[in-house]
Structure 1
């Protein structure tokens, strides 16, 4: 919940009641999106990185525990383990100082290596995600009963976890796209209503 404390010409000081943070934003035309790209406070950033590690750790755990419990599609537990390990590596890489952008530091070889590895890992993760979609959705809804011998089974916990984490990735992507579109519309409207534009 944010509230405007005082409004100056082209400058707003905003108080964020969540965690008691005060943020100063210069609200100029074209700078709205630029200010949104700046990293958040260290505590919020740390909490978000910690939460980003929860799903990959759960994927590794579920995939390893039920590694041989899906004869119907034996790639599903492997998909979870690899997806979790790569996602966790990317999350941990974002905590290393060489992987973080800094305005006052010149790019060095270590920074380029971190960026290259992060890009390649993200590309692999995208391709692996598409493969996982094929493996998971192609057998929907599998036999969960291990005692039936005529139809290969897949462990219910394993399959439903893989199904819902994959489906939630699409939900998250949709929400991000919707939020991005809303921000662009707001930036366009704020840019059109800038009173200084009428003076020139």
Structure 2
């Protein structure tokens, strides 16, 4: 029966994964574009556009590794690669904070406004995202512990 086709509704995990990959790639492209365009426009701290370039490439690599991770049989290898990228991204976030935040009051005229303010607010949004992820993980962990404790109490 060649004409009898069925459509399957995608699950919530697949849809959210696609949105996460799209957000990572779009954000990565924006980071690389702004970092490359304003590469020599910050006398105050020359690492700010470099931070954007590297963070954009890391976001693009993260999106690509997520695609490969869920489309490949070598799950553990790409999971290890994703963990390494995430660790580097966290360390790079701290380095970017050291380069950006101390100059908030003195960047005018020494660093391009678009470059500096984009980087400043991107760092803040990343810290908010990390805080939400950490808080969600703690709440989820507490929920699992309570459920296990309740199951042990009921089952003996």
In structure 2, relative to structure 1, the CA distance for the partners of 1:142 and 1:123 (3 Å cut) is same
Alpha-carbon offset, residue 191 of structure 1:
3.0
Unpaired stretches in structure 1, ≥5 consecutive residues: 1-19, 23-39, 146-152
Partner of 1:8: none
In structure 2, relative to structure 1, the CA distance for the partners of 1:139 and 1:61 (3 Å cut) is same
- Considering Cα pairs closer than 8 Å and 6+ residues apart, tell me whether 1 or 2 has the greater RCO: 2
**Mapping of residues 79-118 of structure 1, within 5 Å:** 79-96=51-68, 99-100=69-70, 107=74, 112=77, 114-115=78-79, 117-118=81-82
Alpha-carbon offset, residue 64 of structure 1:
1.4
CA RMSD, Structure 1 to Structure 2 (Å): 2.8
What count of residue pairs does the alignment treat as equivalent? 148
Unpaired stretches in structure 2, ≥5 consecutive residues: 1-8
1:134 to 98, 104, 108: 98
Cα deviation, 1:76-112, whole Å, max 9, x if unaligned, reads 011101110122112112212xx3487xx5x59xx63
Q: Secondary structure at the match of 1:142?
A: coil
Higher helix share: 2
Normalising by structure 2, what TM-score? 0.77
Partner of 2:28: 56
Higher strand share: 1
Paired residues of 2:107 and 2:116 also in contact (CA < 8 A): no
